């Protein structure tokens, strides 16, 4: 039995044993199709968590970048991960936004938008399952790169995305630490692109599952790069924990225009080639502390929230005040003050881990 057949069988067994009886008992028999799709996402999430708890956790114990001193913050990230990987957020989208996008794309088709599938681009080649999977993986990774740059470019969007970057104790659980509205925006774009390019549902699940797993690894608290593979090319082929930790570094990942600015570096999710092509790659810095500069006491000690609901609420507060936001004290202080107070280099990048 190949892996696809194994997965299909496991999905069917889980659906018939647990999900289907639950839907019948709740009087939701009309949602069996959605329930079956949700079972697939649930199974994917269970497999991902299994890999995280075994392989990725072993890596974190092997060569941690820093000691875990704030376990309460990590536990909140675990909540985010469980909500996403076990399908709670996905089910919410099934019943709210997915019908809206189905209606929108249906209306566009009726208006003359042609039906197109990437699989049919080169008959005999692109319709081979493995080839089409790679094409879809590259396409959606490019979309992800563009969305990630937008999250760092537009001030209002950054106020939401800052929930993700405010984690000072980054671990393999940090990938899904996002504002829910941020997730809705990103997932909506992905669903619309999926509908427009005609990706089969099974391929879409596989693309998302692999992407999420690599993202969990890239956020892991492990001192690991891929530079030793393929004569140094490995670090240029797949996003490593080192490459992505630079993106989360204070003064590196999201202040490309100087202290207090927007922008950033190392936006790629899977393939660093996008950062190379668009000039946003940064390779040679030494990974420093993660977080956002204005969290530091010497830059105001801004509160981004300790618990799940506090982080969500404060994200909305920042979003509401984005247009009327006063000039950042970081920009006023400048790099020189940062160097004196925090031990930074000429670019204002912290040279050592400050106390939390």
Q: Are 163 and 233 in contact (CB under 8 A)?
A: no
Structure confidence at residue 147 (pLDDT) = 97
**pTM to 2 decimal places:** 0.86
Which backbone phi and psi does 350 adopt, to 5 degrees?
-55, 135
Which backbone phi and psi does 325 adopt, to 5 degrees?
-65, 130
- Rg of the chain, C-alpha, whole Å: 21
pLDDT by residue for the chain (356 residues), tens only, comes to 677 788 889 999 999 999 999 999 989 888 888 889 889 999 999 999 999 999 999 999 999 999 999 999 999 999 999 999 998 888 888 778 778 888 888 888 888 877 778 888 888 888 898 999 999 999 999 999 999 999 999 999 999 999 999 999 999 999 999 999 999 999 999 988 998 888 988 899 999 999 999 999 999 999 999 987 866 788 999 999 999 999 999 988 888 778 878 899 999 999 999 999 999 999 888 888 999 999 999 999 999 999 999 999 999 999 998 866 554 444 444 443 333 333 444 344 444 444 44
CA–centroid distance for 257 within its chain? 23
- Residue identified by tokens 């030494």 is 286
Structure confidence at residue 310 (pLDDT) = 98
Structure confidence at residue 336 (pLDDT) = 37
How many residues are present in the chain? 356
Structure confidence at residue 5 (pLDDT) = 83
Give CA–CA dist 343/105, Å, rounded.
Answer: 53
- The b-or-e profile of 282-291 (16+ CB within 10 A means b, else e) is bbebebbbbb
Structure confidence at residue 108 (pLDDT) = 81
Q: Are 77 and 171 in contact (CB under 8 A)?
A: yes
- DSSP character for 54? I
Which backbone phi and psi does 287 adopt, to 5 degrees?
-55, 130
**pLDDT, tens only, 253-283:** 888 778 878 899 999 999 999 999 999 999 8
DSSP letter string, 133-155 = HHHHHHHHHHHHHHHHHHHHHSH
- Residue identified by tokens 């790169």 is 145
DSSP H helices in the chain: 3-14, 20-25, 32-51, 57-62, 71-85, 88-95, 97-110, 129-153, 155-165, 180-197, 201-218, 234-237, 241-248, 273-278, 308-320, 329-342
Q: Taking the CB of residue 133, how many other CB atoms lie within 10 A of it? A: 17
Structure confidence at residue 324 (pLDDT) = 60
């Amino acid at each position: 039995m190949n892996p696809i057949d194994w997965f299909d069988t496991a999905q069917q067994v889980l659906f018939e044993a647990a999900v289907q009886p639950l839907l019948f008992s709740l009087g939701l028999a009309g949602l069996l199709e959605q329930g079956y799709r949700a079972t697939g996402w649930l199974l994917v999430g269970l497999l991902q968590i299994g890999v995280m708890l075994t392989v990725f956790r072993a890596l974190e114990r092997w060569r941690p970048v820093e000691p875990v001193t704030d376990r309460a913050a990590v536990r909140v990230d675990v909540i985010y991960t469980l909500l996403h990987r076990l399908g709670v957020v996905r089910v919410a989208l099934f019943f709210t936004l997915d019908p809206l996008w189905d209606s929108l794309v249906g209306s566009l088709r009726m208006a003359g938008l042609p039906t197109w599938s990437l699989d049919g681009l080169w008959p005999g080649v692109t319709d081979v399952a493995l080839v089409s999977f790679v094409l879809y993986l590259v396409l959606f990774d490019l979309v992800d790169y563009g969305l990630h740059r937008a999250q760092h470019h537009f001030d209002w969007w950054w106020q939401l995305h800052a929930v993700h970057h405010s984690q000072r104790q980054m671990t393999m659980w940090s990938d899904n630490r996002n504002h829910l509205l941020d997730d809705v925006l990103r997932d909506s774009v992905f669903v619309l692109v999926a509908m427009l390019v005609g990706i089969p549902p099974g391929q879409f699940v596989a693309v998302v599952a692999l992407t999420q797993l690599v993202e969990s690894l890239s956020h892991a608290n492990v001192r690991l790069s891929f530079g030793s593979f393929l004569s140094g090319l490995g670090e240029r082929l797949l996003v490593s924990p080192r490459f992505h930790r630079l993106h989360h570094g204070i003064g590196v990942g999201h202040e490309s225009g100087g202290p207090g600015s927007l922008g950033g570096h190392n936006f790629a999710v899977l393939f660093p080639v996008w950062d190379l092509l668009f000039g946003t790659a940064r390779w040679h810095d030494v990974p420093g502390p993660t977080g956002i500069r204005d969290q530091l006491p010497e830059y105001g000690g801004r509160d981004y929230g300790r618990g799940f609901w506090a982080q969500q609420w404060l994200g909305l507060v920042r979003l509401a005040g984005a247009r009327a936001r006063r000039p950042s004290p970081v920009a006023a202080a400048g790099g020189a003050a940062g160097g004196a107070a925090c031990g930074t280099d000429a670019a204002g990048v912290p040279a050592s881990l400050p106390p939390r």
